[in-house]
Structure 1
């Protein structure tokens, strides 16, 4: 994984190899190819009879992204490290600009407009954060909590700027990326649990306050057992931090979260509370998926999809169109394709030449895993509506383009890992 040794390259250059095609990782090419083309059919189905044809834009971005994948595959990832810091701060500036002068739609201010094209900087910010964290965590060995300060600070800036747009879904992706990369870099899983447990603390403080009298002592005990010296100080700090979370969560719920964000979380627990309002998407999505049965109604034949029962189905709820038109077998096939892709990315991370390359790939894998799980859970009613797209399938030009750039970086790591194994 991280032990094949390191190398140094002085100038950015294109790696020329007479056996380029032999080094191509066809899983990374074929799986997105299948997902994108299936998605084009589903997008066309959701928009039939409306005079809209977003499917061809989806295809154009995919083919352009494939070209970017091929180009990036030739570039050694190590050579990009010198550009990470300036690109990171440029990304922060673009997120600041979006919050002041960005284009608004659907109650959020997330886009920049260039010559009629709309770009969502928060999508690029996910990839830039992965590169920045990989550079920070490279060679890091966790011997104290102080090693968490820099990764958390680097993650906090884009997170807060995206959260206040407001974009709760993308801000959650930042957290998944951070935890995945911290764990891969060697952070003890007990530390990850103590951090992740703040979500439980927040829920208890709002739903069942008496549970805190049992929960916080448990956190204190786990902290004392797992945290390094000085144990007493860090245990007290952990207890204080969880107590602070418990104190501010009700204020955060009432003051910081928007009304529609609170409604999404409440209606997730019982969509029937508002079947024609906030719970409409979730209820109709479940009906659509269930109506597909085993083999579905057939591509371009879904009646609920045709009659537009689910608004914006071509974006966040594309999985419901898949369920209706291809049935259980089609959804299972797509989930299997995602599994193959993620499994291959983890294998690439294991075989990477350097810690930096391995961390970049695992950050991208963490991003994909979280988005796939949250989107599918959302459409089948096992999670709240968050607005997180399904990679390679949901319509969204910036998100799709960033997904292909991510694959290009992974393919670069894969090709270099293969060349090392051949020379051993």
Structure 2
């Protein structure tokens, strides 16, 4: 048995390690001039990012991540859900081409942790066009992983959008899933629980601030002087906890009060809307990291905070849809060419973001045209 001081030291190291491992970042590639994948992997390493969530399974991206020791969540686009739902063979083919081919068994491959089926397929603006296919696609991917002897090593998840759960009164205790999703969410959560997989969900303090006049900017930014929100005997000091516990209440109402939660997307844009600036984004991101590291949890989940959190996003993407607003193209902590927008670290240490080095740019005439397109 270790002497007490040594035991305490080892315990602290374990706690620090588990905290650091729980922070990741979304890497999207919807850009007219994306950085080469090897350059992005250098960026991830230099900024000490240990986990990355992808929205597809680009072979060039997976090749660049091979041997990097970065833990990966692979994404399956919504456009593939119908096919994967209807065809077990299509699911087996996808798993073979994108998981088995690259999976690291302790060697130089890719450390794949999750397969994310769909990209927020329940987003309200999509209507129900993907609803009938999500659960079947997830089950077929799970079966394909099991057949490939990877069922115990790679978990299947379904990323859920911020509008999957609601509270008309703004009180977390009144949180519930959208009525059009109740049956689907019960099916999804039953599937996740059976396979010991977490619920992936977006928390968006920025959009909550935009849509709710009762939420102040200070409350969204984890400011200590923000006016608190009360729900019965519980006090909420920030927008993150308010949204998170709204989800916890929704889960409890349909019988899944203890399921693990992964915050699959959370961030603050730097342009394209009021209060979308680099300085405000920096304040939000630092506040979020400090809050996650505090391990205080939320009023409804003191002992069970998110097991992982993925910042949104690594890079700006000028091809993202702007249906929700121009800010959709400005979520990156880096510009499209890998230059940091503000001082920040991903909670893995004390090192701030490090800019991409030796980036190759277009010839001046094409660069001017590109800048003009960005401004539109």
- TM-score, normalised to structure 1's length? 0.24
Flag the structure with higher strand content: 2
- Bigger RCO of structures 1 and 2 (CA < 8 A, at least 6 apart): 1
Flag the structure with higher helix content: 1
Larger Rg: 1
